[in-house]
């Protein structure tokens, strides 16, 4: 394979962020008479959708405790809605079903969704929550629920199909996407820190601007860019100078191999994506033993792409030094970072806790398909969208990002010289300044 000797814009990674940036940048350049997709090259060491974007559950929601995240998600939902067919997007809505410990947080989310015009319904109190849920599913039985936030927009999209749709849009704009091209090192300018070329397994590519959209591989590229492994973080009035920039969590997801049609609403429709958090004790649906009496959470949806009811539970933290974590082989191919029996029992039991239709279904869990995968997180678990070394734009979504299809549109805006208000709260300098995003009472690191 031959790679071009030089390009104006080199984008590393053909996941949601690399592809979305390429597509929108091509449109921007053309509209401004400053170039076209022919100025943009996307390289991927494997191919389109080979990373987290290609295995994601695909949930698209607004439900975030952090105002800046909510605004960004509202923008991204508009991008999903702009072409549901190409993005394989199912606008079924999303529900956050919560215990009392999260009530106040979710009430605030609802108030702020109203303020930004994002349509949702909020139900409060145990009895009203049960009534609302039974109005949708007559077998609803989850315990410990005192509020329900029902987002009318959002839903989910099919991971690989949406990446193919995005890649086709970029290619229609003249963007070149090269698979099997791995960036192994960078060349830097002699009088500046800027990157002047990518050294790949297929040869050298000189470039004016680099965009990094490598998802869980960000720690490796960050090291190649010689950016700091430990950073200063100011939080709660204290300053720490030795905080590791990256850490890994392992996402736990799987599929119950039932007919997806069995999970419909009382009136026969496909339901919203359900996310349930509760502090009610969870007992095994296999033998009634206690699984946990601490707060737990799951999410699920019927999904023909996965062939069943698909979803996940809280991730677990990978305790190894990030440089020692084996990101490759990634996702289902990984011998280490795929789900095991504990997840299967917990998730299937949690489904049965929520809806009677799932009782006794654990044997149908798809054990023949590996699932789950790594995500790479920042010190405060929220994204970094920023420039480094003068001409390198890093899109590090801290594993929030399949739903963030609109980020590439905003990055494209910044690449042509306009600052995006929505991206401002995600600059790297926030760690040292102590301008961190607020944290919620959710058991998930991404809410
Ligand atoms: C199991 C799982 C489920 C998830 N579910 C959801 C969800 O429901 N909703 C949601 O919003 N988010 C979800 N996420 C998070 C989301 O998938 C990621 O945040 C997002 O897809 C990251 O996109 P990306 O474009 O940054 O990276 P990726 O999609 O990972 O793409 C990075 C690409 O870079 C390439 N690459 C890496 N290194 C190099 C190199 N040196 N040279 C060339 N190419 C390179 C890789 O081959 C890969 O194709 C989930 C994540 C996981 C793991």
How far apart, in whole angstroms, are the C-alpha atoms of residue 230 and residue 243? Answer: 5
Task: Classify strands 6-12 and 120-124 as parallel, antiparallel or unpaired.
Answer: unpaired
pLDDT of 442 reads 76
Give the model confidence (pLDDT) of 12-27 as tens digits.
Answer: 999 999 999 999 999 9
How far apart, in whole angstroms, are the C-alpha atoms of residue 24 and residue 107? Answer: 35
Residue 52: strand, helix, or coil: helix
Residue nearest to atom 14 of ligand 1 (CA): 56
Residue 418: strand, helix, or coil: coil
How far apart, in whole angstroms, are the C-alpha atoms of residue 170 and residue 160? Answer: 15
Ligand 1 center to residue 158 CA distance, Å? 14
Residue nearest to atom 15 of ligand 1 (CA): 399
Tracing tokens 């054990």 back to the chain, one arrives at 367
Q: Which is the closest atom of ligand 1 to the Cα of 44?
A: 44
Max Cα-Cα span within the chain: 69
Ligand 1 center to residue 14 CA distance, Å? 9
How far apart, in whole angstroms, are the C-alpha atoms of residue 57 and residue 299? Answer: 10
How far apart, in whole angstroms, are the C-alpha atoms of residue 76 and residue 256? Answer: 29
pLDDT of 438 reads 85
Average pLDDT by consecutive 10-residue portion of the chain (447 residues)?
Answer: 94 98 98 97 98 97 89 95 98 97 94 92 98 98 98 97 98 98 96 95 98 98 98 93 96 97 97 97 98 96 96 95 97 94 97 98 95 95 97 97 97 97 98 91 73
Ligand 1 center to residue 147 CA distance, Å? 32
Per DSSP, the residues of 312-347 read EEEEEEE-S-GGG---PSPGGG-SSSS--HHHHHHH
Residue nearest to atom 22 of ligand 1 (CA): 215
pLDDT of 64 reads 86
Q: Which is the closest atom of ligand 1 to the Cα of 156?
A: 8
Q: Which is the closest atom of ligand 1 to the Cα of 372?
A: 1
Q: What lines the ligand 1 site, CB under 6 Å?
A: 12-18, 43-46, 50-53, 55-59, 182-183, 213-217, 251, 253, 372-373, 375, 397, 399-403
Ligand 1 center to residue 206 CA distance, Å? 25
């Amino acid at each position: 394979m031959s790679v071009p000797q030089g390009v104006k814009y080199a984008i590393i990674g053909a996941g949601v962020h690399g592809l979305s940036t390429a597509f929108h940048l091509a449109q921007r350049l053309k509209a401004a008479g400053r170039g076209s997709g022919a100025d943009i090259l996307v390289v991927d060491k494997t191919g389109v959708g080979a990373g987290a974007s290609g295995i994601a559950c695909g949930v698209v929601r607004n439900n975030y405790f952090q105002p800046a995240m909510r605004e960004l998600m509202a923008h991204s939902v508009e991008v999903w809605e702009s072409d549901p067919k190409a993005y394989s997007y199912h606008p079924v809505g999303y529900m956050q079903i919560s215990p009392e410990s999260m009530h106040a947080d979710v009430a605030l989310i609802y108030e702020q969704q109203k303020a930004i015009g994002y349509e949702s319904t909020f139900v409060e109190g145990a009895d009203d929550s049960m009534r609302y849920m039974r109005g949708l599913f007559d077998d609803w039985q989850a315990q410990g629920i005192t509020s329900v936030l029902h987002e009318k927009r959002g839903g989910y999209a099919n991971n690989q199909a949406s990446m193919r749709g995005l890649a086709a849009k970029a290619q229609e704009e003249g963007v070149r996407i090269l698979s099997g091209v791995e960036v192994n090192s960078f060349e830097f300018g002699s009088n500046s820190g800027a990157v002047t070329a990518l050294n790949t397994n297929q040869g050298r590519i000189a470039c004016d601007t680099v965009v990094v959209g490598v998802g869980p591989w960000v720690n490796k590229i960050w090291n190649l860019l010689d950016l700091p492994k430990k950073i200063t973080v100011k939080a709660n009035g204290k300053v720490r100078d030795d905080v590791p920039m990256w850490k890994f969590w392992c996402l736990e997801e799987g599929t119950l191999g039932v007919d997806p049609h069995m999970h419909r609403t009382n009136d026969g429709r496909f339901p919203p994506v359900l996310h349930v958090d509760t502090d009610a004790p969870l007992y095994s649906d296999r033998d009634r033993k206690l699984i946990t009496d601490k707060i737990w959470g799951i999410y699920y949806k019927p999904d023909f792409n996965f062939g069943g009811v698909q979803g996940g539970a809280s991730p677990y933290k990978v305790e190894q030094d990030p440089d020692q974590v084996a990101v490759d082989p990634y996702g289902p191919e990984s011998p280490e970072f795929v789900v095991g029996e504990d997840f299967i029992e917990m998730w299937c039991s949690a489904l049965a806790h929520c809806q009677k239709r799932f009782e006794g279904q654990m044997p149908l869990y798809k054990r023949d398909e590996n699932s789950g995968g790594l995500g790479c997180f920042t010190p405060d678990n929220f994204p970094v969208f920023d420039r480094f070394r003068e001409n390198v734009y890093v899109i590090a979504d801290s594993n929030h990002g399949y739903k963030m299809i609109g980020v590439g549109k905003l990055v494209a805006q910044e690449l042509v010289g306009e600052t995006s208000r929505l991206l401002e709260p995600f600059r790297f300098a926030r760690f040292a300044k102590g301008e961190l995003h607020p944290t919620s009472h959710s058991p998930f690191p991404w809410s």
